[in-house]
Amino acid sequence: MKGWDKFFALASGLCVLIIFAFLFWIIFIIARNGAGTISWEFFTAAPVEGMTEGGIFPAIYGTVFLVLVMTVFLMPFGVMAGIYLAEYAPQNSRLTQAIRLAVNNLAGVPSIVFGLFGVGFFIQYAGRGLDRTLGLETVFSQPCLLWAAATLAILNLPVVIKTSEEAIKAVPLEHREAAFALGATKLKMIVRVVLPQAFSGILTGAILSVSRGAGEVAPILFTGAAYYLPYIPKLPTDQFMELGYHIFVLSTQSPDVDKTQPLLYGTILVLLLLTLALNTFAIGLRVRMRRKYGR
Amino acid sequence: MKRGERITNSILEGGLKLSALLAIFLIFLIFIFIFKEALPIFTNPGVRSEVDLRDLFASSVWQPVSDHPRFSLLPLFLGTLKLSLIAILFATPLALGAAIFTAEFAPRALKETIKPGIEILAGIPSVVMGAFALLTLASVLQGIFGWTMRLNAVNAGIALGLAIVPTIYSVADDALRAVPGSFREAAYALGSRRNQAIFRVIIPVALPGIFAGFMLGLGRAIGETMIVLLASGNAAILSLDPALSTRSFSATIAAELGEVVFGSTHYAVLFFIGALLFVITFIINLIANLVVERFKVRLAGVA
């Protein structure tokens, strides 16, 4: 390589370097400033003294609770839609194209818009309706974990649909034919032959959406996350504290910035490590799956 | 197959189809339910006495909480424009360069490191990116440029740019790799150098895909909330100066909906902004997705 070829190789390589420099800078700053805060107490204690001391246990607990409920809403619909698109949808039909377009567009809806939808639809419409029908005071018609989880489930639906579809399509055709040859119905073939093989691919989608669900703040701002709670939420109709929201609260509404700083960095580090671990796991799973099917 | 089994099968298969249709249904539902909360701006006389469409688009001050609330979307619109422009200007060259490097220059082993690395960047939660910009990036930038406002459009724009690099990169990378190898070979056979093959053949062919990546990145920059909320300073100033504090549509909703009275004018206006955001990003994404679709069909025809 010489002349212009060399120049373009270097220039484009420099772009990669700059991106990675920023990535490492972010991780380094957070690790350096947050590492000192990490202790057993930080994980197990509740915030005290106006959140200038103590730990983040309620936020960790709330995050786990939130993504669990989200997964329960999300996975059945996401995987079923993925199965339909991969196995049943007539390719090139208008309807199938419309569904794909809708999935892709849903993926691009800003997260704050999902938050508004959560308020307008889940709390004001579904919640009020439920309360009226069941003759309750305000149980469902207020921000709570249930609605925050449902909002996040919608936000993550495209991720799960796309990864499930891809995983199902990657299962070799011969396996399907073998199942049919043995007299299986299409549904039985899917449940017994295709889904078990597509499992790690579907799991990738689940993990990616859990990672995203744990990190998204805008959709839960008004649908259930609480600034501070003196108790641990027990029911899905309770409000909850959450890691990402806790970062937002600590960085914008602290009564004493200097005293909060270590806690803030500690919380950022915990969330960052959590999402990095989940993403690395998902990426690893996908690389393994691609190798297995030689793609 | 027994009759009962056949019925269960068709019910289950109907359920599969319904789940897929849910995506279409949700798009409509989101628009309807956000617009419904914004409707009082058009129908409720009480709300209309405080704000009408002319105030929203023609006046110049956003001051929702005061004795004489004023709801001009203009400063927010300019802010959103400014922020997404900076983000796109920062992210597009970097993402495109990185995509060209991975597709054309990088040896295989390096390629296998770059792609997951950029996926890791994509996995950083936006609240973490925002906090980084708030705590670290802002001080560094201020140290370099000496701005009076520590939190400003450039600071938030760069953080936003970092967040959309993975979007642009992955779509551009897909597009570059979708160009059939025969095109490249034909270019080399005609005596092209590598850079000539890249800039005269591969990029022009992949251009629709690259454009789509750019549009998806833009859509995300316009809608991204937490980074802007934390890093931009959030002052609704009617100015295009990038060194000033800036407020976007998305951050306005995030900052104000929590304290607003349900059913008030302010509440309706915030939902109106949400509906606007939804429509703008929907159109941008629609264009991007249609372009990608046509690009795939066209390449499938020649490959």
Domain membership flag for residue B22: no
Chain B CA closest to residue A187: B9
**Contact A91/B at CB under 8 A:** no
User: Mean pLDDT, to the nearest integer, of B291-300?
Assistant: 85
Domain membership flag for residue A286: yes
User: Mean pLDDT, to the nearest integer, of A188-209?
Assistant: 94
The token pair at A52 is 């200038």
DSSP assignment of B144-194, as one string? HH--S-SS-HHHHHHHHHHHHHHHHHHHHHHHHHHS-HHHHHHHHHTT--H
Domain membership flag for residue B25: no
Q: How far apart are CA B166 and CA B157, in angstroms?
A: 15
Q: What's the CATH number where A195 sits?
A: 1.10.3720.10
Query: Has residue A210 got a pLDDT over 90?
Result: yes
Query: Has residue A241 got a pLDDT over 70?
Result: yes
B98 and A16: CB-CB below 8 Å?
Answer: yes
Q: Which helix (H) or strand (E) holds B140?
A: helix B138-145
- Express each pLDDT in B43-96 by its tens digit: 888 888 888 777 788 778 898 888 888 899 999 999 999 999 999 999 999 999
User: Mean pLDDT, to the nearest integer, of A147-158?
Assistant: 97
Query: Has residue B2 got a pLDDT over 80?
Result: no
Residue B81 to chain A, least CA–CA distance (Å): 16
Residue, of B254 and B8, whose pLDDT is higher: B254
Domain membership flag for residue B273: yes
Q: Give the confidence band of A294 by pLDDT, cuts at 50, 70, 90.
A: low
**Contact A248/B at CB under 8 A:** yes
The pLDDT value recorded for residue A238 is 94
**Contact A224/B at CB under 8 A:** no
Query: Has residue A290 got a pLDDT over 80?
Result: no
Count of domains forming chain A? 1
The pLDDT value recorded for residue B1 is 63
Bridge partners (DSSP) of residue B233 are: B246
What is the domain range of residue B106?
76-302
B230 and A278: CB-CB below 8 Å?
Answer: no
Count of domains forming chain B? 1
The mean pLDDT of chain B is: 92
Q: How far apart are CA B116 and CA A205, in angstroms?
A: 16
B229 and A248: CB-CB below 8 Å?
Answer: yes
Closest CA to B275 of B44, B40, B85: B40
The pLDDT value recorded for residue B282 is 96
Indicate the Cα dihedral angle B121, B122, B123, B128, nearest 10°: 70
Phi then psi for A288, rounded to 5 degrees?
Answer: -65, -40
Query: Has residue A33 got a pLDDT over 60?
Result: yes
Chain A CA closest to residue B137: A26
Domain membership flag for residue B282: yes
Q: Residue window 176-205, chain A: list those with CB within 8 Å of chain B.
A: 185-187
Domain membership flag for residue B67: no
B98 → closest Cβ in A19, A114, A187: A19
Domain membership flag for residue A29: no
B5 and A185: CB-CB below 8 Å?
Answer: yes
Closest CA to A66 of A154, A158, A163, A147: A147
User: Mean pLDDT, to the nearest integer, of B164-185?
Assistant: 93
B254 and A221: CB-CB below 8 Å?
Answer: yes
Name which of A252-256, A271-275, B174-178 the model is least confident about: A252-256
Closest CA to A285 of B118, B116, B163, B114: B116
The pLDDT value recorded for residue A1 is 60
The pLDDT value recorded for residue A273 is 96
Per-residue buried b or exposed e for B211-227, using 16+ beta carbons within 10 Å of the residue's own CB? bbbbbbbbbbbbbbbbb
Helix extents (H) in chain A = 3-34, 40-44, 57-83, 94-107, 111-117, 128-134, 145-169, 173-181, 186-189, 195-215, 243-252, 257-292
- Express each pLDDT in A103-113 by its tens digit: 999 999 999 99
The token pair at B19 is 């789940």
Q: How many CB pairs under 8 A join A and B?
A: 267
Domain membership flag for residue B137: yes
For residue B222, the chain A residues in CB contact (below 8 A) are 110
Domain membership flag for residue A15: no
Q: What's the CATH number where B93 sits?
A: 1.10.3720.10
Supply the ipTM of this predicted assembly.
0.94
- Express each pLDDT in B31-44 by its tens digit: 999 999 999 988 88
Domain membership flag for residue A72: yes
Q: Are B197 and B180 in contact (CB under 8 A)?
A: no
The pLDDT value recorded for residue A291 is 79
Q: Are A289 and A204 in contact (CB under 8 A)?
A: yes
Query: Has residue B233 got a pLDDT over 60?
Result: yes
Domain membership flag for residue B227: yes
Residue B278 to chain A, least CA–CA distance (Å): 6
Q: Give the confidence band of B303 by pLDDT, cuts at 50, 70, 90.
A: low
Q: Give the confidence band of B257 by pLDDT, cuts at 50, 70, 90.
A: very high
B132 → closest Cβ in A26, A104, A214: A26
Domain membership flag for residue A142: yes
Query: How many beta carbons lie within 10 A of that of residue A101, not counting itself?
Result: 18
- Percentage of chain B beyond pLDDT 70 is 99
What is the domain range of residue A80?
36-292
Residue B58 to chain A, least CA–CA distance (Å): 24
Residue A111 to chain B, least CA–CA distance (Å): 7
B219 → closest Cβ in A7, A108, A185: A108
- Express each pLDDT in B132-141 by its tens digit: 999 999 999 9
**Contact A84/B at CB under 8 A:** yes
Phi then psi for B234, rounded to 5 degrees?
Answer: 60, 25
The pLDDT value recorded for residue B205 is 92
B274 and A1: CB-CB below 8 Å?
Answer: no
Domain membership flag for residue A10: no
Domain membership flag for residue A28: no
Q: Are B63 and B70 in contact (CB under 8 A)?
A: yes
Q: Where are the beta strands (DSSP E) in chain B?
A: 62-63, 70-71
B132 → closest Cβ in A8, A30, A112: A30
Domain membership flag for residue B95: yes
B105 → closest Cβ in A9, A112, A283: A9
B128 and A80: CB-CB below 8 Å?
Answer: no
The pLDDT value recorded for residue A286 is 85
**Contact A276/B at CB under 8 A:** yes
